[in-house]
Amino acid sequence: QSVLTQPPSASGTPGQRVTISCSGGTSNIGSDYVYWYQQLPRTAPKLLIYSNTQRPSGVPGRFSGSKSDTSASLAIDGLQSEDEADYYCAIWDDSLSKYVFGTGTKVTVL
């Protein structure tokens, strides 16, 4: 079982704001950068956010990341139908030299 806990599901109508949480602890999120990945159905994951808040080129501006103490969040502002996917938070735990993915959140566009 992952040390990074996410809600199993989230949903919204087109145009709404959806927020996904990622809860950890002081030894992981509190100490390391958080990454977010999007996995569309039947495709490989894609990097969405790195270093807590940074978007790679090509990722729409409606996606944003934040981190506070022992939790992190991914927000989708202006939800679109193509955002229907699974979303995973992750960290590289420097103290353990291990990469950890969150439990994953399925986002549904109503």
Partner 1 sequence: EVKLVESGGGVVQPGGSLRLSCAASGFTFDASAMHWVRQAPGKGLEWVATITGDGVSSYYVDSVTGRFTVSRDNSKNFLSLQMSSLRTEDTAIYYCARDTYKWNPGTIADWGQGTLVTVS
**Residue 109 touching partner 1 (CB under 8 A):** no
Residue from the set 19, 50, 70, 77 that interacts with partner 1 by CB under 8 A:
50
Among candidates 57, 51, 62, which has minimal Cα distance to 16?
62
SS3 100: strand
**Residue 57 touching partner 1 (CB under 8 A):** no
**Residue 39 touching partner 1 (CB under 8 A):** yes
Half-sphere exposure of 69 (CA within 13 A, CB side): 2
Give contact residues for partner 1 (rule: CB under 8 A). 2, 32-33, 35, 37, 39, 44-47, 50-51, 56, 86, 88, 90-92, 97-104
